[in-house]
Structure 1
Amino acid sequence: VNVRLRKLEGTGRPATGAVAGGNGNGHNRATGETPAAPRTRSTTTRRPGRSDDRGPAAGSLNPRNTFETFVVGSNNQMAHAAAMAVAQAPAQAYNPLFLYGDTGLGKTHLMHAIGHAILRANPDARVAYLSTEKFTNEFIQALQENALTRFRQRYRHVDILLIDDVQFLAGKERIQEEFFHTFNDLFESGKQIVLTSDRRASEIQKLESRLVSRFEWGLPADIQAPDLETRFAILRTKAQQLNCSLPEPILSFIAQHITKNIRRLEGALLKVSSYSALTNKPIDLPTVERLLHDVLMEQAQNVLTIETIQKRVADHYQIRHSDMTSKRRPNNIAIPRQIAMYLARTLTKHSLQEIGDAFGGRDHGTVIHACKAVDNMMEQDSSTRGSVEFLKAQLSK
């Protein structure tokens, strides 16, 4: 991808990106019709550094975040396939594409990869990538400077809009109003929208229902924490990129001990490989343990306990923590208690009897029954499934 420095209109700051006209073909959900092809725009070469009224070069796409460098595993297979489909057929496959999952699992990587792939296939595509925070700040600045028309031209006249961390729209009524109309304009013009969040749209509190429904129009695709095999593959790929050669037992040790965050996983590898390169000394396991002592200690301190699960579930369902161990059985208490047992069974290594003991001395059969009941509820009720997945994601941080 050719990246040019270009001055952003209205900001006075240089930014990287690629900007030009695109074909904008797509289907109009509101009318069922395919929109007419947009007018042909001038392709005259512009000098770097000059403002360009054809659209924003908003944010920057990390050149390392491509599909080629993304490691696919069982945790992200669906999200990767959906992102590939969007890149190959913008606004025709899944629109919007809503990628969600915990921090540091690759959502932004996939979003950047979509942008790179589209620009590679069509260098004239008008691609805008920015965070929700940047969208918010630019909107506020436009209000203060009486420049809303210019702001709207920037983000409602692109072919691809990539917005990171839409959970930060929560509670911002004026920003949600603006984003609602931006979304509608782009969608009805057959333009592709890609969004990321740390949770399902339906789990974002204080997000207007009309936005929730639009975010779910296309395909919500989640990304989970990588399993051991995928973590090992990520480390091998990253080691090749860094041109460093570490023994497989070292890579295996890192993969086994850093389990929930790909950024931390890659950061640990970088620290170990840098030490090896700077000292010109061979790396052994005791050295790795010493280098990663702080990270490993933090992981150990964050070991999930049954009590933590009980408190988090109780807070979510607005009941008392003591209800988790009581004999009370009304549905508003019994169901959260069963969900807490299910999460304890899923997220910890405690035995059935240990879990039962932690829930007021219940036997292992009660725990088995609770887990089966929650499985059934998740199959039959999307709201329960969403709540359980949200709690699981929060507890896995």
Structure 2
Amino acid sequence: MTVSNDVKAIWYRVVQRLRGELGEDLYTSWFARMEIEDLHDGRLAVSVPTRFLKSWIETHYLAKLQKIGEAELGALDAVLVRVRTRAAAVQRVQPDDHSASHSHSHAAPAPAAHAPSVVAAAQAAVAERNPQIDPNQSFETFVVGPSNQLAHAAMCRVADAAQGAAISFNPLFVHAGSGLGKTHLLSAVANRIRERRPDRKVMVLTAERFMINFVMALRQRDTLSFKDQFAAIDVLLIDDFQFLQGKTMQQEFCNAFNSLVDSRRQVIVAADVPPAQLDAIDQRMRSRLMGGLVVDIELPDLDTRRRILQSRYELMVKRDPSVVIPDDVLEFIANRITGTGRELEGALNRIAAYQQFNQAAVTLDLASLVLRDMQANPDGSRIKIDDILKIIGRHFNVGRTDLLSPRRARSVVVPRQIGMYLAKKMTARSLPEIGRRFGGRDHSTVLHAVRKIEGQIKTDDKLAREVALLIRLVEQG
């Protein structure tokens, strides 16, 4: 069936979503050669050139493919993955096209006359231009904070080590949730070594790329070359280690790992969870991983989120000077999005896109509207005075005890008065009740605070913007 141009255009958006969510390496490994075949009666049919790709996508990515497809195509009853005919696939041969459809004969397939050798793949992996390395992901562009300081320091130590120098810790295992900077640090290590220690050979792999290369070697009957490729490197960086599956795959990686560590060459492993929680990995492998330095990366604190946003915003303005996002909106995002750097960047991109598409100035009201589905309190549950105290304390860096105390220092009085103003404006509590919740104060004290802040807002633009920001933060949890 011929697919219409409209469906092809929508499919292109599906592809772009896949690329964005999975990252360039996973997308290139599994989806770069996928094509849409048919869309009819809620059933999406796509095709890939090999049975291996079909099996792997159906096992690991079918739910993801359906979810992303539904975001662009509407509700889908099913997603079907088919294998294209050999005639259609022959024009699309690539180095990882190792699993061309084979017949049901029990005879082993003969090696292809012109198939790319694993040795060539190994040479490409240690070449100066590795497609898995982002040249923009460096130590200089990595925002360091309390949540990632140890991981950053350990990676710098590895990257700056001289050829033949004693290794402080090996392996180095970094674990963190998605979007917290593991891949950025791996790329930073590779870029730093290539810049300052060009004599050191670096290989960067994901667990899935490792499995692809190993299956390629098996199909080409060339596992010896696959093993030999690791003898040519000084530093192995492997990402998404939690995806390494299969007893044979794990044994092969264990052999390569042991060979490198025993010969005092550096191995850095990144995963979503610590070694002890890698339930699918053999216990001996987990034990060896725990024998090195294990560090984690936590969610960034408020100050780190501010600096991440500022860094991303500066890069955005360099690319497109027409983007203008005020400081109070950046502050709103930093307070509102308490997740990963990737989520912060996504929120920033969303607001910038809205400005570009609608030719509208970015305000706090607009930011609140655009990010409404990212709010922590989407059901609009009733605002509590405790919520206000928490937001005020975090924003002004004042402890709850101080806000409720008799202290009269300006650094405490102003936040306290703003808190009372917000409590009167945003809750149904009476003045006496607000006074009691703010340290047992009289209702006249609350009334004085409310009137004072109301008056200052009319003449002090900076205070007005700050109060508006606090209102948005309280509203969104």
- Decide: shared fold, TM above 0.5: yes
**1:67-216 mapped onto 2 (5 Å cutoff):** 67-89=139-161, 92-169=167-244, 172-216=246-290
SS at match of 1:253: helix
Which amino acid is the alignment partner of residue 354 of structure 2?
Y
Q: Which residue of 2 aligns with 1:268?
A: 347
Determine whether 1:64 maps to 2:113: no
Q: Which residue of 1 aligns with 2:95?
A: 12
Do 1:55 and 1:126's aligned partners in 2 also have CA atoms closer than 8 Å? no
SS at match of 1:65: coil
Measured in 1, the distance between the counterparts of 2:234 and 2:94 equals 21
- Distance apart, 1:54 and its partner CA: 4.9
Which amino acid is the alignment partner of residue 222 of structure 1?
D
Q: Which residue of 1 aligns with 2:331?
A: 252
**1:354-393 mapped onto 2 (5 Å cutoff):** none
TM-score of the superposed pair, with normalisation by structure 1: 0.60
- Distance apart, 1:277 and its partner CA: 4.0
Measured in 2, the distance between the counterparts of 1:209 and 1:13 equals 30
Measured in 2, the distance between the counterparts of 1:192 and 1:113 equals 15
Measured in 2, the distance between the counterparts of 1:106 and 1:131 equals 15
The alpha-carbon distance between structure 1 residues 258 and 77, as it changes in their structure 2 partners (threshold 3 A), is same
Residues 170-189 of structure 1: per-residue CA shift (max 9 Å, x gap): 5x211110011100111122
Do 1:59 and 1:129's aligned partners in 2 also have CA atoms closer than 8 Å? no
Which amino acid is the alignment partner of residue 139 of structure 1?
F
SS at match of 2:170: coil
Do 2:96 and 2:216's aligned partners in 1 also have CA atoms closer than 8 Å? no
- Distance apart, 1:206 and its partner CA: 3.0
SS at match of 1:130: strand
SS at match of 1:174: helix
SS at match of 2:183: helix
SS at match of 2:285: helix
Which amino acid is the alignment partner of residue 241 of structure 1?
L
The alpha-carbon distance between structure 1 residues 300 and 279, as it changes in their structure 2 partners (threshold 3 A), is closer
Do 2:302 and 2:334's aligned partners in 1 also have CA atoms closer than 8 Å? yes
TM-score of the superposed pair, with normalisation by structure 2: 0.50
Measured in 1, the distance between the counterparts of 2:121 and 2:280 equals 36
- Distance apart, 1:265 and its partner CA: 1.0
CA RMSD of aligned residues (A): 2.6
Q: Which runs of 5+ in 2 are unaligned?
A: 1-92, 98-118, 318-322, 382-477
- Distance apart, 1:55 and its partner CA: 6.1
Measured in 2, the distance between the counterparts of 1:173 and 1:13 equals 22
- Distance apart, 1:238 and its partner CA: 0.7
Asked which structure has the greater RCO (Cα within 8 Å, sep 6+), the reply is 1
Measured in 2, the distance between the counterparts of 1:56 and 1:63 equals 15
Do 1:72 and 1:80's aligned partners in 2 also have CA atoms closer than 8 Å? yes
Greater CA drift, 102-111 or 149-158? 149-158
The alpha-carbon distance between structure 1 residues 161 and 59, as it changes in their structure 2 partners (threshold 3 A), is farther
SS at match of 2:330: helix
- Distance apart, 1:76 and its partner CA: 0.5
Measured in 2, the distance between the counterparts of 1:136 and 1:51 equals 16
SS at match of 1:146: coil
Count of paired positions = 256
Measured in 2, the distance between the counterparts of 1:293 and 1:141 equals 47
Residues 61-82 of structure 1: per-residue CA shift (max 9 Å, x gap): 1112110010111111111111
Measured in 1, the distance between the counterparts of 2:344 and 2:297 equals 16
Structure number with greater Rg is 2
